[in-house]
Every structure is written in C-alpha cells, then in structure tokens.
Structure 1
Amino acid sequence: MRLTFLFIIFTSLAFGQEKPIVFYNESGEKISKQMFIKTKDYNKNLDLYLENDTTQIGLLITRQKFGQLDKNTFKYLKSYLTELTDNQIDSTQKIVINYLTAYPKKNETKNSRSGWNVLDRDYLKNLHKIENIKQFWIHSSECDNLEYNHQKRINWIEDEDNLLKKLFFPYPIRYGNYILIKPDGKFYYYLGEHSKYQIWENAEKFFK
C-alpha cells in the first residue's frame, strides 16, 4: 500500500537536482542512497525516479511477483478482457497477457520497427504448445508507439479503463510487462524488458 501511495504522490519522470532526494526499497522502507545503490540489481528489481513539486524519490520495484486474485476481482478481470477483445475465456484456460507500457514514447525510438522477439511469429505457436492458453495483447492508454510494436500484425487492445494498470502495473516501467494467470486466479508477473524464451520458460513452470 505504501508503494502505491508513493506512486500517486510522485508522478513526474523529471529528475531535477535542486530538490531533496529520498530513497525507498521494494517494501516501501526509507533507505540511504548508499543502500539504494548497493541493493539495486537489474535481475531482481528496477530503479524508478519520480518527483513532485518539492521532493524527488528513488524507488526500487521488484520485477517478479506471485499473487492471488480474489474471486470477484478475477471474475471482473475476465469479463473486462472479454469485453475489450470479444474473446471468451473458458474456466479451464490459462491466461497470458502481454502488456505494452507507455515507455519508450514514439519520439524516443530510432528504428521504424521493434526487434523485440516477443513479437516474432513463432512466439504464439510455441506458447500454445505449453498449455491451453488464452493470449491477450494489451497496451497502456498512454502508449503512442503501437506502429513501432508491429501494430499491423498484432492486434494491440487499449486498456481503456486502466484496469490492468491499477491491478498490476501502476509504475512507469519501460518496455513491456507480462502476466500469467491460472484458472483459480493465482498469478505471476514480470516487469520490464524480457524475451519470448523467458515467457515460455516461466509459463511451463507456472502452469504445470
């Protein structure tokens, strides 16, 4: 809850030099700058830098999380995905959601098309060999870079009510996130840059 509170307060990505800086770990505990630098590990966490009118903050976010959606929330999520995509989810299907974040923005990309291998044609083919999976391609409502992410071939659907953002991805992470959800509402997510091989491997482990 504390991390969510911090995110609501510190919403700008600008990171000036005049304002005092405070640092927090993954649990929302205030730590020293030295400890922040020491515990920063790209394999385990991501460092975000936010600010408001008076204060700057450095925040560590855990990249992987396991959790459980309650029955009503999970039911609403499935209904929301079905309404967005006109794609029904049966009670036995596992869910995989590739979530395209708002960053990088269009003006930050140098190439005309992304070389991200999650967008390769064999990604879905091999994913569906693992389990009975329903795949969704969802993008942040703030994303302006769909053409770069192969919009003509991949049917990216906007997270219109920001439900995925509210439930799982409130932080301004660069690149895409993904989430795996079992039929009982148990989930696993990974934040930030990743590959198709990572999704395949974690899907095999999580859905077995």
Structure 2
Amino acid sequence: MRLTFAFILFTCLTFGQEKPIVFYNESGEEISKQKFIKTKDYSKNLDLYFENDTTQIALLVTRQKFGQIDKSTFENLKSYLTELTDKQIDSSQNIVINYLTPFPKKDKNTTLKSGWNVLHRDYLKKLHKIANINQFWINSPECDNLEYNHSKKINWVADKENLFKKLFFPYDVRYGNYILIKPDGKFYYYLGEHGKYEIWKNAEKYFK
C-alpha cells in the first residue's frame, strides 16, 4: 500500500492514542511496526507522525536527497528568490539556502538566543571561499521563532508562497533544512538538525 500525497494533506501533528497506527517506510510502503523501529536511523531518516479522522500514521523520511530541477521551474525559483530578497542571481552562481522550519515553536518564557553555529559570523565567510555562492536565509511563513534565531542580524525572509515547501520540503521537521543548488539546477538537500561544518563539507564536495 502506497501513501499518497493527498492522504498526507488531511493529517495533522496531534497524535491520538485510540486510533490504529499504520507504519510506512521512506518509499511510502506500509511496513510492520518492528521493521519501522529497526529501520529508524537518525543519521539517515526522520520519523514523523500524523493522523487523519480514522488512522495514525508513522512515516520515515530520508534526510538527504539529490535531484534535478527542470529549467522552467529553476528559472521561476530564481525569480522568486530575487523578488523575495532583491538579490540577483547570475547563471554562474551556486545557491545555498538555509530554510527555517516552524518547529520548535516560540518559547514565551525565554529570552535566550540560539547558539546554532550556522548563525555564527564565520559561517558565511568560509562558505564564500568554497565557491561562487549566493546565500539565502528563508523561513517558513508559520515560523514564529525568528527572534530566537537572531533576526536582528540574520535577514530571514518568509517563503510567502510556500514554494520551497511545495518543491522540496512537504514535511515540517524540527529546526531547519538546507539545500545546495548548482547553476544547472542539480540540487542536494538535508533535512533537520545540522551545523555549519556539515554545510561546509558538503558544499566543498558538491560544488567542486
């Protein structure tokens, strides 16, 4: 049984106790609970949970993906980024996007700032030494945690049309994702928690 995208659209993040649970692997194929638990590996996939009116869903999502954006979609994406940020992208530039997800939600009882090392000053300095890169800071429109993520020094821009969600990130994971895009539209993304060292390492390999 394959899990269709239409099925996912009727789900939500609350996880009731009385409904039966159905488990799926990264390909959307139904598997047993035992295989789900055995296959779950934080270094390779993330376990996400949803429900609809009758069923609870446990789904494994692959953290890393390589792909190709078709020419028309890529041109639309670059135009969209320019519209959002007023930054032009020439045909020779690689693109790096840090995408902030809606989770975790804002903690109203804290005034702390994130210690996430991607927000450190040396992150961009070294990134621009790796290749000809245009860097963008994009957040989900549902994100309410920008102040925690240093919004006074990081120019976070909302993905107001949810284009990145539609193209790359249909599932809302915790913390954030990043994506590397070559001038020909080939891309690599990583879902969920990560640091600057992973981005540097993968950018050096991918953009060489």
1:193 aligns with 2:193: yes
Name the residue aligned to 2:78: 78
2:149 maps to a residue whose letter is N
Q: Deviations over 1:159-200 (max 9, x none)?
A: 010001110011010001000000000000000000100000
Name the residue aligned to 2:113: 113
1:54 CA displacement: 1.3
The two structures, once aligned, show a CA RMSD in angstroms of 1.4
Q: SS of the residue aligned with 1:134?
A: strand
Name the residue aligned to 2:66: 66
**Where in structure 1 do 4 or more consecutive aligned residues deviate above 2 Å?**
1-7, 107-111
Distance 1:109 1:64, change over 3 A: farther
Name the residue aligned to 2:32: 32
Structure 1 distance, partners of 2:38, 2:168, is 26
In structure 2, the gaps of 5 or more residues are none
Q: Deviations over 1:45-103 (max 9, x none)?
A: 00001011211000000000000000000000000000000000000000000000000
Checking the alignment, whether the CA contact within 8 Å between 2:99 and 2:137 is kept in structure 1 is yes
Checking the alignment, whether the CA contact within 8 Å between 1:7 and 1:171 is kept in structure 2 is no
- Give the total of aligned pairs: 207
Name the residue aligned to 1:104: 104
Structure 1 distance, partners of 2:51, 2:111, is 30
Name the residue aligned to 1:137: 137
Distance 1:206 1:108, change over 3 A: farther
2:133 maps to a residue whose letter is I
1:2 CA displacement: 4.2
1:93 aligns with 2:93: yes
Checking the alignment, whether the CA contact within 8 Å between 1:20 and 1:55 is kept in structure 2 is yes
Distance 1:122 1:3, change over 3 A: farther
Structure 2 distance, partners of 1:34, 1:130, is 43
1:5 CA displacement: 3.2
2:147 maps to a residue whose letter is E
1:7 aligns with 2:29: no
1:107 CA displacement: 2.6
In structure 1, the gaps of 5 or more residues are none
1:124 aligns with 2:124: yes
Name the residue aligned to 1:175: 175
Name the residue aligned to 1:153: 153
1:117 CA displacement: 0.4
Structure 2 distance, partners of 1:191, 1:207, is 19
Checking the alignment, whether the CA contact within 8 Å between 2:66 and 2:187 is kept in structure 1 is yes
Q: SS of the residue aligned with 2:84?
A: helix
1:147 maps to a residue whose letter is E
Q: SS of the residue aligned with 1:96?
A: strand
TM (norm. structure 2) is: 0.96
Checking the alignment, whether the CA contact within 8 Å between 1:177 and 1:189 is kept in structure 2 is yes
Distance 1:71 1:2, change over 3 A: farther
Q: Deviations over 1:119-152 (max 9, x none)?
A: 0010000000000000000000000000000000
TM (norm. structure 1) is: 0.96
Checking the alignment, whether the CA contact within 8 Å between 2:3 and 2:24 is kept in structure 1 is no
1:8 CA displacement: 1.2
Structure 2 distance, partners of 1:45, 1:173, is 11
